[in-house]
Every structure is written in structure tokens, then in C-alpha cells.
Amino acid sequence: MRRKLVAGNWKMHGGLARNRDLLQSLVQEAGKGGGSDCAVCVPFPYLAQAQEQLKDTAIAWGGQTLSEHAQGAYTGEVSAAMLVDFGCRYVIVGHSERRSLYGENNETVAAKFVAAVQGGLQPILCLGETLDQREDNVTEQVIAAQLDAVLQAADISGFANAVIAYEPVWAIGTGRTATPQQAQEVHAFIRQRMAGSDAALAQRLQILYGGSVKPQNAAELFGMADIDGGLIGGASLVAQDFLAICRAAG
Ligand code: PEP
């Protein structure tokens, strides 16, 4: 039985006062069920705040991206070691907004994944197709290419502590959720492809669903055989919604 994980992606939202309230609400309520893991991925400037408020609690925290380089003249970039300095356990890698807005391609994403693993972080690797790609019936090819680039760079051993998030681009921040069956199909495809390299690892691998998860649809999605929790954008900014989604994970 795989343990479920619900990870919030705050994106570029928040502020000191608002975060304080949100984190306080999460700390008071989260972890009471104990049946799933919970994490928040916050903007870089608030990592110290997350560390301060979440240390010694059941909630982990992480970054939303990282540099593929370990250190050097890379103005504006943040390395894996810097995230580890602030107690991060997770880092999101290859979010579709990074791919579409910041030019990250499969190779860049793979290099970032390797940097995360080498730095001791658990990458949450995002994979997903656009609406055009789904309508052209190339979803599996797109996912396979995204996944294979990382497998090639990191080897299957690089996935020992990694998490995958299937995030159909057309469902992110749109209010349009993949049906549980649509999501399950792609999750099963990802697990099967991973099993081609290591069947035992594929069975252990947490594969999250992301894309307009809400308290109203979380339980049904998380009830599917290969869906092991969620990566949550908008709803992670509202304490009661995020907590309800965490409870839906068990
Ligand atoms: C995300 O940002 O990864 C995401 C899934 O966003 P939302 O839940 O708002 O669709």
C-alpha cells in the first residue's frame, strides 16, 4: 500500500502576514489523521518562514524550482544545497509553467532533476500534455518523452526517492479537472513505463495528480488505483480547502 502525499504549490502568491495565518491553520489541523503526508512548496523568500513555523510538525516544505548548477555565476538562481539549508524536503521540477513561460525543455528539466537528487532533495517531477496534444491523441507520447529524458539523465536509481506529478496542462488553474478515469489511465501508463526499468520501484513510486483538485473532487481522484495524492495549486492557498484535500487522502 503506497502512502499518499498532498503537496501544495503556492506559486507566486503570499506574503509574510498571510503565510503566517495559513501555516498556523495548517499546523493546528494537519497530521491529525496521520494516514497521509502533507507538504507546501513556497516561494524562495518564504522558505525561512516555512522552516520556522513547520519545523517539528507533520508538514514538510519545499521549493518550486531549483538551478541545475551546484553553484557559481548564475544570477538569480537557487541551488539544491541552498534549499537543503532551509530544511526543504521536496522541490517541484518541470512544472508546466516553468516549461511554457521560462523555456525549460525536457533536457533542462532532466538536469534539474539530477541536481535535486544529488543535493539530497526529493524531486516532484511534473509531467503533462497540453489540450492540443490530448486532442491530437499524443498524450502518451508526450508523457513518455518527458519521462524518458529524465530516466536517461538520472537513471532509474535517481527515482528511488522521487515523486511524479501528472498535471495535464489544460487542467491547471482552469477549474477543469481530468476525470478520475482520464487521470487513472495516464497514471497507470506512467507506472507501467517505470516498471519497464524497475518493477519494484514502480510499485513504490508515488504518482500525484494535479490540476484543479478541490475538496469536492479529491476523494474520487485519490480513490483511483494509481493516484497517490495530489499537487495542489489554487486550493492550497485556502487553509480549510487544503486541509479538506489532505483529509481526503486519508
Ligand atoms: C499547480 O499549480 O500545480 C496546480 C495543479 O494548480 P491548480 O490546482 O490551481 O490547478
In CATH, the number for domain 3-229 is 3.20.20.70
Please give the grid coordinates belonging to residue 188: 497507470
Residue 52: CB atoms within 10 A of its CB come to 13
Nearest CA to ligand 1 atom 8: 233
CA of 101 from ligand 1 middle (Å) equals 15
Model confidence pLDDT, tens digit, residues 48-88: 999 999 999 999 999 999 999 999 999 999 999 999 999 99
Look at residue 231 and give its three-state secondary structure. strand
Instruction: Identify whether the C-beta of residue 179 lies closer than 8 Å to the C-beta of residue 221.
Output: no
Judge whether residue 43 has pLDDT over 90: yes
Q: Residues 184-213: what's their mean pLDDT?
A: 98
Based on C-alpha coordinates, what's the Rg of the chain? Answer: 17
Instruction: Identify whether the C-beta of residue 41 lies closer than 8 Å to the C-beta of residue 89.
Output: no
Of residues 216 and 30, the one with the higher pLDDT is: 216
Q: What DSSP string describes 126-177?
A: EE---HHHHHTT-HHHHHHHHHHHHHHHHTGGGGTT-EEEE--GGGTTSS-P
Model confidence pLDDT, tens digit, residues 224-245: 999 999 999 999 999 999 999 9
Residue closest to 47 by CA, chosen among 127, 125, 121, 126: 121
Burial tier of 188 (Cβ tally within 10 Å: 0-12, 13-18, 19+): middle
Judge whether residue 32 has pLDDT over 90: no
When pLDDT is cut at 50, 70 and 90, the band that residue 35 belongs to is confident
The residue to mutate among 101, 213, 217, having the most atoms of ligand 1 within 8 angstroms of its beta carbon, is: 213
Ligand 1 binding site (Cβ under 6 Å of any ligand atom): 9, 11, 167, 172-173, 210-213, 231-235
Atom of ligand 1 nearest to the CA of 126: 3
Rounded distance between C-alpha atoms, residue 78 and residue 65, angstroms = 8
What are the φ and ψ backbone dihedral angles of 225, each rounded to 5 degrees?
Answer: -55, -40
Model confidence pLDDT, tens digit, residues 108-139: 999 999 999 999 999 999 999 999 999 999 99
Residue closest to 14 by CA, chosen among 64, 86, 60: 64
pTM exceeding 0.95: yes
Judge whether residue 1 has pLDDT over 90: no
pLDDT at 60: 97
pLDDT at 46: 98
Rounded distance between C-alpha atoms, residue 16 and residue 210, angstroms = 26
